[in-house]
Amino acid sequence: MPAVGLVYDPLYLEHDTGHHPENAIRLQAVTSHLEESGLLARLRSVVARDATVDEVAYIHERDYVESVRWAAGRGGVWLDADTFVSPRSYDAALRSTGGCLSAVDAVLAGEVESAFCLVRPPGHHAMPSRAMGFCLFNNIAVAVEHARRHHGLRRVAVVDFDVHHGNGTQAAFYADPDVLYFSTHEYPLYPGTGHWREIGQGAGLGTTVNVPLPAGTGDRIFDRIWKGMLTPILRRFQPELVLSSAGYDGHFVDPLASLAQSAAGFADLVAGLRDLARELCGGRLVLMLEGGYDYTALAWSIRNSLEALLDEEPTPDPLGRRDYPPPVGIDDLLTVIAKTHGVDRV
């Protein structure tokens, strides 16, 4: 059984957002389920640390970082229409980003083959100078820079399967030829970015791959995308590390979107990433939690994902799968994206 790490810290619960969809109950539901299932005991704890301001500043402007600290000190402030800062949010955000850096360190040191970061606040919408979409600091973007600056890696791949496009991560590396950003997401949906024509710019032209999908896409189409598009693109890129923004809000019961995926379907995606990481970069894979707002679906999806990392068959969940007909026009959409990125067939 491969060694799989888990990052979690109780401080993440103190990012108090009240009745907001992105709330502490999400992680409580997951940790309770993992403990009751016995799965937690089969994982190796990776201790989270606080990211330093210098590390967060790899991606974010220092004035913005200070503004988040200031807002937390005010006792509770809305940074935008979706993103709330409570008194401990700044501390939790530093620990969230730092936990992801700890996971990267553990994987690159060979202490674990792969790791899952059960963190909050999430990160992939956060821009250099502002919060967005429940996100304060861009955990995965900072982790990319940490891997390159502190471990000497050159090529890092980011695979984002959250239902919402990771506009902050894309923006950070849009002109960077050494970071591959591959995103599947429902479109059109918040934040409105991620059209297939967004493919990078300058030296980074072609290293941004967006797969915008219609509602009702379902597990079977994702399987085609992983096998027919992600696999050849990752093989061509030859990453030294694979990081993933693991969002589970594409589940068919999730209240915020409608991609019609399932817990078992997410396990298939993670198993595909696991196999590609083993083939291309010694199994070095780190998943970082983003969205997922139905507590039952989230808990089971993460459990099944961890089982995939452990080379175990996913335990059947009570919600099951739903088999939808392919969305109208999906073949034409996938064909044009594949052609754009030099892939033969999806």
Strands (E), the chain: 4-7, 44-46, 77-78, 84-85, 114-117, 156-160, 179-186, 208-213, 241-246, 285-289
Query: Distance between CA 179 and CA 158 in Å, rounded?
Result: 7
The residue from 124, 125, 185, 341 that is catalytic is 125
Give 129-149 as a DSSP string: TB-BTTBSS-HHHHHHHHHHH
The answer to whether the Cα torsion of 300, 301, 307, 312 is positive or negative is positive
Cα 339 to the center of its chain, rounded Å: 26
Query: Distance between CA 219 and CA 179 in Å, rounded?
Result: 27
Buried-state track 281-320, b at ≥16 Cβ within 10 A, e below 16: bebbbbbbbbbbbbbebbbbbbbbbbbbbbeeebeebebe
Query: Distance between CA 142 and CA 210 in Å, rounded?
Result: 21
* Phi, psi (deg, nearest 5) at residue 101: -70, -40
Active site residue 165: no
Buried-state track 176-191, b at ≥16 Cβ within 10 A, e below 16: bbbbbbbbbbbbebbb
DSSP 240: S
Active site residues: 125
